[in-house]
A and B are shown apart, each in its own frame.
Chain A
């Protein structure tokens, strides 16, 4: 099976990159291919890069408190650019009562502060692997099941 390709990025202006780099290292060690776009990426640029890189998952991290608007913009960009088959996961300083709101918005997985690293890695790999399985099945993106 093809290695999952996971695109990680920091949207907005927040520079706290300890968490996302830790996850990047852990995902690489777990066998994923990680494309790290770095800091201050616009939602449009993140989705465009995910499509260009044929990523199986978009992972973003926000510690500035701007997770709701930024996740909303990424979901909107994903729809606009025909990237709905790519799941989106978010981590950061996300209060418990925002988890449901993010999921309702269309985010596929939410990892608030305090999520154990292993849970994040297993969760992200599972999401990305579903995509890889879809690709390996040869079905066009639009016809693959997205959980």
Chain B
């Protein structure tokens, strides 16, 4: 075993995002003393919501333990879902394969190598019905990680629910539907930003009328963080996106008081425990200010930020993978101390494969142990009043607001993304982080410190295998289903969709009609491709 000594300058220590940290904090570090602090904090469930969105927090209701799953064919995913529900998971989260995310049917040549790999393959509403077969959709909330094709996937889900006898208004869940972060970081974009934002707005508008229990968008900083940016940038980019969406919804004629309570957020929680907790607390405070000052929110619900934490996959290592169990535990703890409404814990094997069943179960157990054994859920916002955490919360808030002002000055989130500016921040800071890993400045146990000698590779065997024939079978099944059905309603559904798309009407009713008639994801996505064209990213340098 190599024991490398880390020589560091102890006079200048910073958080992960570069905020200087003192050796010790006292009451003098909190400006304005106790009275001012009380103002900045409020009580849990009260403006400005620094201490949490609900008065009793986890005593009233534990966070939702939502492990992301989905792979292969719809039957495979259905099996995994039933397994997870049987293990005590309280909600579902669907991962879709890349062809589904990018609007290709399983039989499309572009889809060839990717069907069923990173999630489930959906071609038609029949597939969606199979994914949820035997699952009571009026009682289980479902999260959909879907963006460019979100309106199409929502339509298919609604048709699946309809077939199982559950009315639209009884459905609960969250559609990710955050296209801006696709351009920023996740890169599963399809159409240019303008028309993409219109589709997001169509979904939110439709949901506000028909799906009262559904969160039609989850505004996400997680992916930008995973792609390389720091906590402050993550927060600023998320808020800038939330502002851009809110402006688009207002321009559609929607009322902020009505849509704002259904906005949900999604953050990473990485390993810098106190900085992450401070970031999550600052997020609630900033959103409260944006909602009240910028958008004139008057009801508390319209200014109350609720979020999901996906922890952080990029902090995990392929070397000594069991170390990731400890990393994930810390990240889950950070999300809990930060007041998350739902949490996903990464699988310890996630650095090198789609998580195995063993890893997924352990992730769920991690959440259960923190919830039931650690005692951290007993009281709301247990870190409040810590000189350090409060000071960090103030500092992150100030830095994020400064960055939001910069984004505003270049025309807001959409203009900044079109110019490729935040994408460059992200790529540059990812490169810096990698250099710091290489130099040892950023210690990583098992990688650049305490590494096993001679361990050059992953040191772990993959146990998860995707069925290599799943793609062909899925494509053949879709072909057979298409051949069985009368093609005329499908054609007329797609024609109506083309018409509504070009005339600017909300596309959701036409999508639902086409989905009912058995139209495929690829055919519906093609209608939008023809109308909007496809987006290509500006060069990274």
Binds B, one of A22-30, A75-83, A101-109, A124-132: A22-30
Contact at A112–B458, with CB atoms within 8 Å? yes
Other-chain residue from B110, B112, B187 in contact with A16 (beta carbon distance below 8 A):
B187
| Contacts A14-B98, A64-B98, A96-B461; A114 near B437 (Cβ below 8 A) | no
CA distance A36 to B540 in the complex (A): 9
Shortest distance from the beta carbon of B72 to any chain A beta carbon, whole Å: 12
Other-chain residue from A14, A26, A95 in contact with B353 (beta carbon distance below 8 A):
A95
Interface status of B93 (Cβ within 8 A of chain A) = no
Contact at B457–A112, with CB atoms within 8 Å? yes
Interface status of A21 (Cβ within 8 A of chain B) = yes
Q: Which residue of B has the minimal Cβ distance to A28?
A: B541
CA distance A69 to B111 in the complex (A): 12
Q: For chain B, residues 71 to 124, give those with C-beta under 8 angstroms from any C-beta of chain A.
A: 98-99, 101-102, 104, 110-114, 117-118
Other-chain residue from A24, A40, A93, A116 in contact with B540 (beta carbon distance below 8 A):
A24
Shortest distance from the beta carbon of B463 to any chain A beta carbon, whole Å: 9
Other-chain residue from A69, A95, A114 in contact with B113 (beta carbon distance below 8 A):
A69
Contact at B117–A116, with CB atoms within 8 Å? no
Interface status of A51 (Cβ within 8 A of chain B) = no
Other-chain residue from B186, B317, B447 in contact with A15 (beta carbon distance below 8 A):
B186
Interface status of B460 (Cβ within 8 A of chain A) = yes
Binds A, one of B43-51, B126-134, B427-435, B483-491: B427-435
Q: Which residue of A has the minimal Cβ distance to B430?
A: A18
Shortest distance from the beta carbon of B450 to any chain A beta carbon, whole Å: 15
Which residues on B sit within 8 Å (CB–CB) of A25?
427-428, 431, 541
Q: Mark A92-124, 1 if CB is under 8 A from B, else 0.
A: 011111110000000000001110111000000
CA distance A99 to B458 in the complex (A): 11
Interface status of A49 (Cβ within 8 A of chain B) = no
Contact at B461–A97, with CB atoms within 8 Å? yes
Which residues on B sit within 8 Å (CB–CB) of A99?
457
Interface residues on A, range: 35 or more
Other-chain residue from A24, A73, A112 in contact with B352 (beta carbon distance below 8 A):
A112
Q: Mark B529-541, 1 if CB is under 8 A from A, else 0.
A: 0000000110111
Which residues on A sit within 8 Å (CB–CB) of B540?
21, 24, 36
Contact at A18–B228, with CB atoms within 8 Å? yes
Contact at A95–B462, with CB atoms within 8 Å? yes
CA distance A94 to B112 in the complex (A): 19
Q: For chain A, residues 7 to 57, give those with C-beta under 8 angstroms from any C-beta of chain B.
A: 12-18, 21-22, 24-26, 28, 36, 38-40, 42
Q: For chain B, residues 22 to 68, give those with C-beta under 8 angstroms from any C-beta of chain A.
A: none
Q: Which residue of B has the minimal Cβ distance to A42?
A: B110
Q: Which residue of A has the minimal Cβ distance to B538?
A: A38
Contact at B431–A114, with CB atoms within 8 Å? no
Which residues on A sit within 8 Å (CB–CB) of B438?
116-118
CA distance A14 to B317 in the complex (A): 20
Which residues on A sit within 8 Å (CB–CB) of B431?
21-22, 25-26
Shortest distance from the beta carbon of B188 to any chain A beta carbon, whole Å: 5
Which residues on B sit within 8 Å (CB–CB) of A39?
187, 537
Contact at B319–A114, with CB atoms within 8 Å? yes
Which residues on A sit within 8 Å (CB–CB) of B202?
none
CA distance A120 to B398 in the complex (A): 39
| Contacts A12-B114, A39-B537; A95 near B427 (Cβ below 8 A) | no
Q: Which residue of A has the minimal Cβ distance to B71?
A: A65
Contact at A13–B461, with CB atoms within 8 Å? no
CA distance A51 to B264 in the complex (A): 47
Which residues on B sit within 8 Å (CB–CB) of A96?
457-462
CA distance A18 to B185 in the complex (A): 9
Interface status of B330 (Cβ within 8 A of chain A) = no
Which residues on B sit within 8 Å (CB–CB) of A12?
98, 113-114
Q: Which residue of A has the minimal Cβ distance to B98?
A: A13
CA distance A40 to B112 in the complex (A): 13
Which residues on B sit within 8 Å (CB–CB) of A114?
317-319, 351-352, 447, 457-458
CA distance A22 to B228 in the complex (A): 10
Shortest distance from the beta carbon of B404 to any chain A beta carbon, whole Å: 24
Interface status of B271 (Cβ within 8 A of chain A) = no
Contact at B352–A93, with CB atoms within 8 Å? yes
Shortest distance from the beta carbon of B114 to any chain A beta carbon, whole Å: 5
CA distance A94 to B466 in the complex (A): 14
Interface status of A66 (Cβ within 8 A of chain B) = yes
Which residues on A sit within 8 Å (CB–CB) of B352?
93-95, 112-114
CA distance A14 to B460 in the complex (A): 23
| Contacts A93-B352, A112-B318; A66 near B114 (Cβ below 8 A) | yes
Q: Which residue of B has the minimal Cβ distance to A62?
A: B113
CA distance A69 to B186 in the complex (A): 23
Interface status of B276 (Cβ within 8 A of chain A) = no
Contact at B114–A64, with CB atoms within 8 Å? yes
Which residues on A sit within 8 Å (CB–CB) of B228?
18
CA distance A113 to B113 in the complex (A): 20
Interface residue ranges, B against A (CB under 8 Å): 98-99, 101-102, 104, 110-114, 117-118, 182, 186-188, 226-228, 314, 317-319, 351-354, 427-428, 430-431, 434-435, 437-438, 447, 457-462, 466, 536-537, 539-541
Residue pairs across A and B with Cβ atoms less than 8 A apart, 13 shown, are A14-B114, A18-B427, A18-B430, A21-B430, A21-B540, A22-B431, A25-B431, A36-B539, A73-B113, A94-B352, A95-B462, A96-B458, A114-B447
Known A-B contacts: A17-B227, A96-B458. Give 12 more (CB < 8 A).
A14-B114, A14-B118, A15-B187, A18-B228, A18-B427, A22-B430, A38-B537, A65-B117, A69-B112, A112-B318, A112-B458, A114-B458
Interface residue ranges, A against B (CB under 8 Å): 12-18, 21-22, 24-26, 28, 36, 38-40, 42, 64-66, 69-70, 73, 93-99, 112-114, 116-118
